[in-house]
Chains A and B, each alone.
Chain A
Amino acid sequence: SAVISQKPSRDICQRGTSLTIQCQVDSQVTMMFWYRQQPGQSLTLIATANQGSEATYESGFVIDKFPISRPNLTFSTLTVSNMSPEDSSIYLCSVTGQYFGPGTRLTVL
């Protein structure tokens, strides 16, 4: 199994600003995944982040809105850019497709 931590655990942000979420894993992994869980909804895959290459985004998600970095095999960041209230969600990172971090609860005012 993998132990995954995320920072921040929660944040309240103003519309138009950006927030960068960090994901740290206790072991080296090839693929990391970012998900969004909107209030009362299921999880939706945003993108897949491989170390050393550009992230692959799912339909409906674009790099300008959700830029992702993957500088090494244990770390990734997801930025939510130019936020609006519709971006209020829990953002989760995942590794090996099975293990999930605790999530970052984002509220946009």
Chain B
Amino acid sequence: AQSVTQLDSHVSVSEGTPVLLRCNYSSSYSPSLFWYVQHPNKGLQLLLKYTSAATLVKGINGFEAEFKKSETSFHLTKPSAHMSDAAEYFCVVSRYSYSGGGADGLTFGKGTHLIIQP
């Protein structure tokens, strides 16, 4: 069975400083991994996804994540935080690799609430 653990329920950074949101995963298969963002009272937006290609994945709005198999981690980073980044972030794992053409339901982490201090 697959699972994800988001190591911080809340992260607070100052505007203009780097962001690090930590995620560890567990999967019986070669996983597909995702980061989603959810702004207050808004829908889910896909930030980026890893599907067994390049281990460094670039997403939207300056976010990127690095897949580290040896550490079973998929941390999300951004060099410089913006006020508009304040939101809930979810690390997500799928049972199958999308590069292989499969698709399955997703397992979500509990979320990390990102707070941006002015």
Interface set of A (CB-CB < 8 Å, partner B): 30-31, 33, 41-45, 48, 58, 92, 94, 96-103
Which A residues are in CB contact (< 8 Å) with B25?
A: none
The residue of chain A having its C-beta at the shortest distance from the C-beta of B41 within the complex is A105
Cβ-based interface call for B11 (8 A): no
In whole Å, how far is A51's beta carbon from the nearest beta carbon of chain B? Answer: 14
Q: Contacts A99-B46, A100-B43 known; A42 to B105 CB distance under 8 Å?
A: no
- Report B56-88 CB contacts with A as 1/0, cut-off 8 Å: 000000000000000000000000000000000
Assess whether A45 is in contact with B105, with CB atoms less than 8 Å apart. yes
Tally of chain B residues near chain A (CB < 8 A): 17
Cβ-based interface call for B110 (8 A): yes
Could you count the A-B residue pairs with CB atoms below 8 Å apart for me: how many are there? 43
Assess whether A42 is in contact with B90, with CB atoms less than 8 Å apart. yes
Complexed CA–CA distance, A43 and B76 (Å): 19
Known: A42-B111, A45-B106, A99-B46. 12 other contacts (CB 8 A): A31-B104, A42-B90, A42-B108, A43-B44, A43-B106, A43-B108, A45-B107, A96-B103, A97-B103, A97-B106, A98-B98, A103-B43
In whole Å, how far is A11's beta carbon from the nearest beta carbon of chain B? Answer: 16
- 10 sample A-B contacts, Cβ–Cβ < 8 Å, listed by A number: A30-B103, A42-B109, A43-B90, A48-B105, A96-B103, A97-B98, A97-B103, A97-B104, A100-B44, A101-B43
Assess whether B108 is in contact with A98, with CB atoms less than 8 Å apart. no
Assess whether A97 is in contact with B105, with CB atoms less than 8 Å apart. yes
Assess whether A48 is in contact with B104, with CB atoms less than 8 Å apart. yes
